[in-house]
Amino acid sequence: MNSNFAILIPARIGSTRLKNKPLIDIKGMSLIERVFKNSITITENTYIATDSQEVLEHVQSFSTNIVMTSDAHISGTDRVFEAAENLKINDDTLIINLQGDEPFMPKDLVIQLVEDFNNNSCDVISACHPINNSDDLKNSNCVKVHCDSNNYAKSFQRTLNSNELSMRHIGIYGYRMKTLRKLVNLKPTKNELFHKLEQLRFMDNNYSIYMTHYKNEIPSGIDTQEDVDQAINYLLTNEN
């Protein structure tokens, strides 16, 4: 596997659905610590990007790999870009944007993502897996993706409007620094604003998104208190 990549984890303090979300306790460990400690097993080039002094002080209790960023960013992509610039990441480095609310991202998925990026011609790479829970079909927090026969994304949506086969989108992205620099200069599109899905901005501007297909199911990211409860149950169920 090409090791020329870094994982950046945006951690915004101002979530509207879960107050102080990065600091929420999930069975004795904060959400952001779980995300980081999982990621650091994949690459030592893992950094948290935050706008919060409270998150900074908390993270410093277990790592120095944290970068302070502006509190004016409207997206995790913007936050990741500022952090990447501060870290002086070079243009050809693959940056993995791992959402700060995905504590159970499998190591083999990230490795597959990096390999797929290096083996395919794409601007952006992301990931998806089959939808096995019928409740997810109706859940607007479970983003669905339709792909073409070559695994490139055709569309993303929160609710299904057709019987077309779809996969659950996993909250992880990859792009080279030089591509990220272009992406952050794009203006939001009507499509993106309507669906509240930033990846649609990339597609609306003709940036290709290759989707790594992961066969196994991954617990949902943390968006609601119900997700927190499910994450705790998942950990209890999978304890040795």
Q: Is 0.95 topped by the overall pTM?
A: no
For residue 126, which amino acid is it? S
Q: Look at residues 67, 100, 65 and name the one whose alpha carbon lies nearest to residue 81.
A: 67
Distance from C-alpha of 30 to C-alpha of 34, rounded to nearest angstrom:
6
Per-residue pLDDT of the chain (240 residues; tens, 9 = 90+): 345 899 999 998 877 778 899 999 999 999 999 999 999 999 999 999 999 999 999 999 999 999 999 988 888 899 999 999 999 999 999 999 999 999 999 999 999 999 999 999 999 999 999 887 777 777 887 899 999 999 999 999 888 765 566 889 998 999 999 999 999 999 999 999 999 999 999 999 999 999 999 998 888 788 889 899 999 999 998 865
Q: 6 — phi, psi (to 5°)?
A: -135, 150
Left, alpha or beta for 59 (phi > 0: left; psi -120 to 50: alpha)?
alpha
First CA to last CA distance, the chain = 30
Place of tokens 């196994």: 216
CB environment 198-233: b (16+ within 10 A), e (fewer) = bbbbbbeeebebbbbebeeebbbbbbeeebbeebee
